[in-house]
Chains A and B, each alone.
Chain A
Amino acid sequence: MKLKSIALAAAMSALAIGAHAEGLKVGMITTLSGGGAGLGIDVRDGFMLAMKQSGRDDIEVVIEDDQRKPDIAVQLADKMIQSEKVDVLTGIIWSNLAMAVVPAATAQNKFYLSPNAGPSALAGKRCHKNYFNVAWQNDNLHEAAGAYAKGAGYKNTFILAPNYPAGKDALTGYKRMYGGDLAGETYTKLGQTDYAAEIAQIRASGADSVFFFLPGGMGIAFLKQYADSGVDLPVVGPAFSFDQGILQAVGEAALGVINTSQWNKDIDNAANSAFVDSFQAEYGRLPSLYASQGFDTANLLISAAGKADVKDQDAFRAALEAAEFDSVRGDFAFGPNHHPVQNIYVREVIKEGDVYTNKIVGTALENHADAYAGDCKM
């Protein structure tokens, strides 16, 4: 009897010490192999840079590769939750993977911080108190492009995007802020790499401008072919086709193109210039949009971990909501649906020495929130 109670006391004190010393465990599920790995690697590198700079060794990060496959992402989330017993999940790049993982993770009382994807469902009807988006709602950059087009006086735009949900959201987002006529609206095949037929349609349509959302290799192909076609209408797009990682592959064809982004390396604040310098020093390349989002996500997490224990979910959530960290974007706040309220800038592609990059030429939308916040009942 006595022995048993001693053992019990020892176990309990071990438990208490454990709870005290136990830090925060983060599971990062991101795309590290196959096509699209560049985005995941940037998010990871930005995130880990912030971790390293914080010097907090009580935050453990487990990283897994989802291969850009939703079923693998779901299984990794199961593993992170069941086996690694993480407190916070993050890292997913693609909306379809986020839709597969996030609802299940938040339903199991895990926090999820999105460093990239922001599908409309998660901002609206299916929002959750433990889900925070640190990047943007998917429509945001397209809305900014529409606002820019309206401000620039475009009256007759030709718009195109791949035929999948994010593509449809993109065109919807653009139309929401644009207000003018459409010279044409075309959905292309996902993964399509030859746009000769669409460019011929643009030429014949009498448009005064072009808006496109074609992420990754699709955008590279479109821009090169567009530049080569002799059609010289102004082009507007979201930052995804003009980020640091792929801009070098587009080359001269991108020069002067207007794109919209919530971040650029020339945003003037101390956090940003320190980030750009230290990222270059650490990895030997310029940071991309995705790296900045990974960096911000980590800093948000670190700021919350400094204020509350993750086991106290309400306190931790309040600390996340406060968003008291130095964002590389400058001002950053969460709206009521845990999505950012932020400025979205207009950038132009320029050449600095041998490197293609962007500079900010204006602000498309100030303190912009998303269109779905009203549907969110937390």
Chain B
Amino acid sequence: MPTYLIVEQLLNGLQFGVMLFLSAAGLTLIFGVMGLINLAHGSLYMIGAFAAAAVAGATGSFVMALAASLAAAAAAGALVEILVIRRLYDRDHLDQVLATFALILIFSEGTRWMFGSFPLFLDVPSYLSGPVTLPGGIQYPLYRLTIIGIGLAIAAGLFLLIARTRIGIRIRAGEADREMIAALGVDISKLYTLVFALGAALAGLSGALVGAIQSVQVGMGEPVLILAFVVIVIGGIGSIKGALVGSLLVGLTDTFGRILLPVAFGTFMEPSAANSVGAALASMSIYLLMAVVLIVRPTGLYGRA
């Protein structure tokens, strides 16, 4: 395989990983601070994409669309937190799973009721479309490079937020000892709503960013949800750093699995069967990765026991 192709696939894996990070970061944050397992995270991703598509259709502005995705997902997140999620913090994981499973049903079919059954249109803005030529003569879509940039910037921002700001201190305190910070006079319910809305906004933003190059449709959130879970379990639940490392691992494993496995099988099988078997194994590769990580480290790479 030529070097330029490997570099291009590395970028693809990186971009996929960064995108996953935006969804996984919110999920891991919410779990870390509130101890809540939120299956409806994928729905917030979907809401972001639909809000972006609707606003882009009305205004024609991609920046406005991204702003709308952040606002809509954050608002939906805050609303859900206040109405439903709040009552689940002291419940066991089982109740949380069922309640957020119910939220998926409500959000998915509610969105279909509002926007219809057909996919919506959301496109890359003209100033970000088309490929650019990288050093070494590699042609790579500008929009995907932009996604990598935005994702890494948000990762840096999140680290700063948690390490350097008052809210960050409270979030860390909340992770360490929930009763304690309430006793210290921090309005814990406001903090929880804020964290939930922040996680939702990140998911919504990633839905909008991805929606522009994929398909904005009902049900788009669930595959991402499962992937995000794989990511945070690999990284260690509650750890932002783990989410970043996990995302990149999953992104690269998936991308290279898809290219290399059929080639590997092709060395001793006839091409059509090799493609088929290779593809079958590739679709299982990230789950294998997760199983291996958990066998070696049962609480993930950066998780606390």
Contacts and interface: CB of A to CB of B under 8 A. Distances in A.
Interface of A: 33-35, 37-38, 41, 163, 168, 185-191, 193-194, 196-198, 200-201, 203-204, 216-218, 220-221, 224-225, 228-230, 245-246, 248-253
Contacts, number: 129
A250 B16 CA distance: 21
A218 B259 CA distance: 18
A200 to B, nearest CB: 5
Given A187-B275, A193-B223, A245-B118, A34 B124 contact: no
A314 B16 CA distance: 58
17 contacts: A34-B112, A35-B218, A163-B280, A187-B262, A187-B276, A187-B279, A193-B214, A194-B16, A197-B12, A204-B4, A220-B214, A221-B215, A224-B123, A228-B141, A228-B213, A249-B121, A250-B121
B38 interface: no
Interface in B88-113: 108-109, 112
Interface of B: 2, 4-5, 8-9, 12-13, 15-16, 108-109, 112, 116-121, 123-124, 129-131, 139, 141, 143-144, 210, 212-220, 223, 255, 258-259, 262, 271-272, 275-276, 279-280, 282-283
B272 A163 contact: no
A163 B274 CA distance: 12
A173 B3 CA distance: 34
A217 B118 contact: no
B265 to A, nearest CB: 12
Contacts of B214: 193-194, 217, 220-221, 224-225
Contacts of B121: 248-251
A229 B118 contact: no
Nearest to A37: B117
A200 B276 contact: no
A251 B124 CA distance: 11
A217 B217 contact: yes
Given A224-B123, A248-B121, A185 B275 contact: yes
Nearest to B280: A163
A185 B271 contact: yes
Nearest to A162: B279
Contacts of B280: 163
A309 B235 CA distance: 66
B118 A163 contact: no
A217 B275 contact: no
Contacts of A248: 118, 121
A187 to B, nearest CB: 4
A75 B190 CA distance: 48
B108 A249 contact: no
Contact of B108 (A34, A163, A188, A217): A34
Contacts of A204: 2, 4-5
The 10 closest A-B pairs by CB, nearest first: A230-B131, A217-B215, A220-B215, A249-B119, A196-B12, A35-B219, A187-B279, A221-B214, A37-B117, A38-B117
B283 A197 contact: no
A229 B11 CA distance: 13
A223 to B, nearest CB: 10
B9 A249 contact: no
Identify which of B255, B258, B272 gathers the most chain A CB atoms within 10 Å of its CB. B258
Contacts of A200: 5, 8-9, 12
A75 to B, nearest CB: 20
Nearest to B132: A230
Given A34-B108, A229-B141, A249 B215 contact: yes
Given A217-B215, A220-B215, A196 B15 contact: yes
Given A220-B214, A221-B213, A249-B119, A230 B279 contact: no
A38 B280 CA distance: 28
B129 A228 contact: yes
Given A38-B117, A196-B15, A228 B143 contact: yes
A252 to B, nearest CB: 7
A196 B271 CA distance: 22
Nearest to A250: B121
A246 B283 contact: no
A163 B215 contact: no
Nearest to B283: A189
Contacts of A38: 116-119
A33 B109 contact: yes
A228 B213 CA distance: 8
B134 to A, nearest CB: 12
B259 A201 contact: yes
A251 B143 CA distance: 17
A35 B111 CA distance: 12
Contacts of A252: 123
Contacts of A221: 213-215
A196 B144 contact: yes
Contacts of B279: 163, 186-189
A163 B215 CA distance: 20
Identify which of A191, A224, A229, A250 gathers the most chain B CB atoms within 10 Å of its CB. A224
B117 A41 contact: yes
Contacts of B262: 186-187
A166 to B, nearest CB: 14
